[in-house]
Amino acid sequence: MEIVSETKSFGGVQGVYAHPSKSTGTPMRFSVFRPPQAEKGPAPVLYYLSGLTCSEDNFTTKAGAQRYAAEHGIVVVAPDTSPRGLDLPGEHESWDFGSGAGFYVDATEPPWADHYRMYSYVTEELPEIIESSFPVDSTRMGIFGHSMGGHGALTAALRLPDRYRSVSAFAPIVAPTRCPWGEKAFSGYLGADRERWKEHDACELVRKSGFAAPILIDQGEADGFLEEQLKPQLFQEACDEVGTKLQLRMQPGYDHSYYFIASFMGDHFAHHAKILREA
């Protein structure tokens, strides 16, 4: 693992790191904030998954998370959103597929299957690196994200509830099998079998097993993607069917940007901190 940068922040250290990935077969970068409490021993860890077009840098520099991570004593990890440097055919042709748009699935279709394995990277390889290199308590792990990353956070938590104790999301894609972003990504990465797509659809997954802890979602009412792509009411309906506690907060006037995310970041840290303290 290579240290790209380390900077003092809110009494802790904000770092960016690089390593050769076994999952993607490419170099990958991620950021880690270590709060001052981590100097005394292992701390809870929270993974953040970013949205379309983003890298690890967007969350690290725009979300204002360091202040709240230091307040609650939580290590925060933010990976990139796709492999980089491959130049596969068509990889850079559109902003919502390919580079910067891995959708946190393990692709099964060529030419993506050998490298676009972001589910394995985020849920297996990266946690192994974090647990061996940083002072984290892996029994107190949470996950959250934005848009495509909100989809990734919800599906990871619902598929691996024994690993992720807490989950939240900002403007997540909750039903990728029923929106244009998801249909484009899943048909390209996973092929034409729509039954396979359901394994990465939060609405389908929560109906199967629910989730033990309450889930928090913030959604801006002025989000231009709300009606066509995000559809949070579908996840509310699915949670209600199985008795999973969901706090869906519709925020008047807020859009899809990091201004929206930063406005409610403190509430999300408080949500995770309460559940992880009790874990």
Residues acting as catalytic residues: 147, 223, 256
Preceding peptide of 232 cis, ω within 30°: no
8 Å CB contact between 166 and 272: yes
Instruction: For residues 106 and 115, give the distance between their C-alpha atoms in angstroms, rounded to a whole number.
Output: 9
8 Å CB contact between 50 and 78: yes
8 Å CB contact between 203 and 188: no
Closest CA to 122 of 161, 162, 155: 155
Tokens read off for 150: 């909100």
Tokens read off for 106: 């393990």
Closest CA to 41 of 11, 6, 73, 78: 73
Question: Which 3 state secondary structure label does DSSP give 12?
Answer: strand
Task: Give, as one character, the DSSP assignment of residue 221.
Answer: T
